[in-house]
Structure 1
């Protein structure tokens, strides 16, 4: 068996057992340098890609207004350097391997900037599952890549995961956590108490804080609980998340826990299917990244 085959097998086994996986160094320095340059220029609100028409108002940012530490959605649709990073073949190939998918599209991309300080907006990200935000997605095989643009330590508020939480039993309490939209929460202690209470059952609560060197990437399963602490360093912590969807994924009607219709951010922006439902294969907003386009068709 070739070395690459051994590494692939080990990665897949680890991901299936733990619900996350951290790569070695897979991103080249020049790609990361270009992405960092984009981040430094965000306050100027200049873009070098033509934003899809439906997203223009959603992504509008008043000129001259400073951007706080915030979630910048659809970042790859606005800047060529970020688009090149999020479609980088080594990332897409790993996502395809971990999800067992022969074809992948991007579902969304986002930049989260954590400026130093425990009182900043998004200083802490609450424990949550990505699946809670994907109720209208038919596929259970989506995955998220988390790409830091610098060496990222615990003190900077690196990504933390609940090891093997994707495999927790589907009890009422676990299901409540998995469906809660707690990326932003006003009571982190209460959320932790709910998680910690599961220890009395058959659940092992094991927090892993994933420190990554620049060029490394972590992936996590849609049912893996994850979050992050405050950035207590003296520099900004910049990271890009890439949500990948397999070719089979499509829109399905769903309801939230309160009974209201579920909706993803871009349901009103993507193209429509013949039946009028959102098209999650819209090539403008959800481009295919695996397999990579051949030079002749690119």
Structure 2
């Protein structure tokens, strides 16, 4: 396999990787071309209209109000697949996670409407890892790509700084009430430090699978539109657990075990 050519100056440097490992998140400079994001916007509209390049048995028309979250959209719309396959995204993830290869885990097409009375669209605090218990890797990560400029007013993602080093097992997530979480992490000797983000179009945020994150309502003037690209190091495999994952129903089986290296569902993105 030929490694695609990328501009090495756009990859995170040593100080950036140290920051990621200390804080559990990192935001790139502007690295994605506008035409790729323009195409992704068109792909989002096509997906919502049911104009798919490959059938999706799980497709349903999006609601008229409220949050929209559609998994695996890139498997069915070529413009979104093109965004997921941008080599700079996976190469950055590989450097941050200190791994030789990166595969897609899955993606989520996200739409957050402008907040209106009775239709608040905030996302409470949680970790991705709590949903990925069937994975052996502790270094999975997420790349979040906004299709436009976004800040806290528009419902951008916020991180609890350094939370990838906390023990948050057993805590009740998806609540905007941080009281119980603050009590527990203070007991562990940590401090609650919320980092709100402000991103220009073409920037990408990356966060560790154990980083606690969430986002508030969109008080802007336009819906927040984005794609979350969940990524796995090449050595990630399935492990038995009580809480499986949607991938287990989609990937091929090897000796009866879900294969997270299935090239149709979890293609290798880097190198």
Check whether TM > 0.5.
yes
Shift of 1:118: 5.0
1:198 partner SS: helix
Question: Match of 1:140?
Answer: 138
Question: Match of 2:5?
Answer: none
2:148 partner SS: coil
Shift of 1:266: 2.1
The answer to whether 1:243 aligns with 2:230 is yes
TM-aligned CA distance change 1:112 to 1:9, over 3 Å: same
TM-aligned CA distance change 1:118 to 1:225, over 3 Å: farther
Contact 1:118 1:230 in 2 (8 A): no
The answer to whether 1:26 aligns with 2:13 is no
CA deviations over 1:212-260 (Å, ceiling 9, x no partner): 0000001001110000000011200011111111111111011xxxxxx
Shift of 1:67: 7.7
Question: Match of 2:13?
Answer: 8
The answer to whether 1:211 aligns with 2:198 is yes
For structure 1, which segment, 239-248 or 118-127, has the greater mean C-alpha deviation from structure 2 after superposition?
Answer: 118-127
1:90 partner SS: helix
For structure 1, which segment, 204-213 or 110-119, has the greater mean C-alpha deviation from structure 2 after superposition?
Answer: 110-119
Q: Residue 22 of structure 2 is aligned with which of 17, 27, 46?
A: 17
Question: Match of 1:194?
Answer: 180
TM-score by length of 1: 0.82
**Greater percentage in strand:** 2
- Structure 1 unaligned segments of length 5 or more: list them: 255-260, 292-298
Question: Match of 2:4?
Answer: none
Question: Match of 2:263?
Answer: 283
Q: 1: distance between equivalents of 2:148 and 2:103? A: 26
Alignment of 1:1-298 (within 5 A): 4=9, 7-48=12-53, 50-51=54-55, 56-57=56-57, 59-61=58-60, 69-117=67-115, 123-168=121-166, 170=167, 174-177=168-171, 182=173, 185=174, 187-189=175-177, 192-198=178-184, 200-201=186-187, 202-254=189-241, 261-274=242-255, 276-291=256-271
CA RMSD of aligned residues (A): 2.2
Aligned length: 263
Q: 1: distance between equivalents of 2:165 and 2:76? A: 36
TM-aligned CA distance change 1:139 to 1:200, over 3 Å: closer
TM-score by length of 2: 0.90
TM-aligned CA distance change 1:212 to 1:278, over 3 Å: same
Contact 1:19 1:163 in 2 (8 A): yes
Q: 2: distance between equivalents of 1:86 and 1:5? A: 17
Shift of 1:120: 6.8
Contact 2:11 2:92 in 1 (8 A): no
Q: 1: distance between equivalents of 2:25 and 2:203? A: 13
1:283 partner SS: coil
Shift of 1:47: 1.0
